[in-house]
Every structure is written in C-alpha cells, then in structure tokens.
C-alpha cells in the first residue's frame, strides 16, 4: 500500500494513493523543491485540508508511506509547499523532499508490496534502479536470527555492477529481498552489527569470480580488503 500522511509529531495516515510520480526526481542546488503527482488519491478533500492547515500552523511533517503486508512502514519525508493542481483525484503538489533513490517506486509496486518470494528479482530492474531495491531492502527484509549465518555463497555470473554485488550478498545472507549493505561503509556497518545478521559471518564463497575482477575493477580489491580486515574468509572459485 502507498499512502500519504503525517509522520511527526504523531504517525497518522490521511489517504491511500494508487501511485506516486516524481518522488525520485533529483533536486538541484538552486531549486530544492520538486513537483510530485499523487495518482488516484482516496480522500483528496481531507488531504488538501491537512495541507492547508499545515501552512497556517507552520507544520508540514508529511510523508509518502509504503506499507507491506506485515504492516511494516517506510516513510519518505515531504514538506508541503503548495497545491499545483487537482484533477479526477490526481494531485500535483510542490514539496521539499530529499526524495527516494531511483527505482524505489518500481521496486515497491512490482515486488516489495507483494512480497519478495524468489531470488534475484532485482535483476528485473535496470542497473540504475538497483539502489532503489537496496533502499527498500533495509526496511522490508526478513533478517535471520543473529549469529545464524556463518557462511554465504554468492555467484559472480549475476554480478555486473557494484550494486549487483550488494543485492546478491544481501540475499545470500538474509534471504529473498535481503540487505547487507548498499555501499562500502554500509557493508562494514552490517558486518559489525548483529541486527543485520552478519555478526557471526566467517566465510564467503564467491563462485564465478574471475569475470568480476574486471567488471568491478578497483571495487573488487576494496571488497577483498574489507573482508580481510574483519576476518571474513573469502573463498574465490
């Protein structure tokens, strides 16, 4: 489910929406606002009233909220600035928002909203959209019990870009749609933090690794160095 609501000081869903466009739009240094479209708003009158009240009270802590079947939420903060237009329950609003990574909405609509029930669904996204997949994985994965993972297996034939490595590694440790970092700093956080299921990780088996040496270039060496530093055996096959 996609909805929009108040996220501070209390969490309150105001209206469901069928889809959101523009949330992933990058903001420029000179214009930090963006226009987003809320498609098929369930209760537009209530939402518009809340927007107008927030302007009067100088309180605009709204969010685009993604909710899965287990009632887990991920919210993207938006600061309402103005209503641009409304037509057939579709709203165009100008907001301030840091937004979402490219691919978040597609990954949500096609996969995470329904449940990630098989491996490597992230391959169906464009390479440029896979950070969006990883962004959702942080919130919606099913982390295994701490200490349960000692060995992980990744297959290099599915890895063509560095984001592919993080998608593949996340699922190898935490199951379908799993997360274990989205950049090198986040990878280190996952290794040392039990909440990501890797605090007992002892070895990683990397099948078909040779093609990844030249595809990942210097990133391959960085990965090796991180695992070596944290005493994780890397077995290259």
Cα–Cα distance, 234 to 95 (Å, whole number)? 46
76, 80, 181 from 61: Cα distances, Å = 10, 8, 28
Contact 96, 35 (CB under 8 A): no
Residue that the structure tokens 């979402």 belong to:
100
- The predicted-structure confidence for 109-135, as pLDDT tens digits, reads as follows 999 998 899 999 999 999 999 999 999
Intervals of the chain under pLDDT 70:
29-30, 142-148
Q: For residue 146, what pLDDT is reported?
A: 42
Strands in 164-223 per DSSP E: 203-207
Domain map of the chain by residue range? 2-96, 118-236
Distance of CA 106 to the CA centre of its chain: 11
Neighbouring C-alpha atoms within 13 Å toward the C-beta of 133:
29
Q: For residue 144, what pLDDT is reported?
A: 53
Note the CATH number of domain 118-236.
3.30.370.10
Torsion-angle region of 175 (φ positive above 0: left; ψ -120 to 50: alpha; else: beta): left
Average pLDDT, the chain: 91
């Amino acid at each position: 489910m996609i909805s929009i609501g108040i996220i501070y000081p209390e969490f309150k869903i105001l209206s469901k929406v069928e889809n959101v466009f523009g949330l992933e739009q990058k903001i420029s240094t000179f214009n930090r606002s963006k226009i987003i479209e809320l498609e098929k708003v369930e209760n537009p009158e209530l939402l518009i009233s809340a927007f107008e009240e927030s302007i009067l009270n100088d309180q605009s802590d709204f969010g685009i909220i993604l909710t899965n079947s287990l009632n887990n939420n991920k919210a993207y903060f938006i600061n309402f600035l103005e209503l641009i237009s409304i037509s057939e329950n579709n709203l165009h609003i100008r907001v301030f928002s840091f937004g979402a990574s490219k691919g978040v909405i597609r990954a949500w609509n096609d996969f995470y909203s329904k449940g990630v029930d098989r491996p490597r669904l992230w391959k169906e996204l464009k390479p440029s959209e896979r950070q969006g997949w990883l962004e959702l994985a942080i919130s919606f994965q099913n982390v295994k019990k701490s200490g349960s993972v000692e060995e992980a297996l990744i297959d290099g034939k599915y890895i063509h870009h560095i984001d592919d490595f993080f998608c593949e590694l996340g699922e190898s440790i935490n199951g379908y749609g799993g997360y274990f970092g989205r950049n090198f700093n986040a990878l280190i956080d996952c290794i040392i933090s039990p909440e990501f299921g890797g605090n007992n990780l002892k070895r990683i088996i990397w099948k078909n690794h040779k093609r990844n040496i030249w595809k990942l270039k210097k990133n391959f060496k960085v990965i090796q160095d991180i695992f070596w530093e944290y005493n994780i055996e890397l077995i290259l096959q």
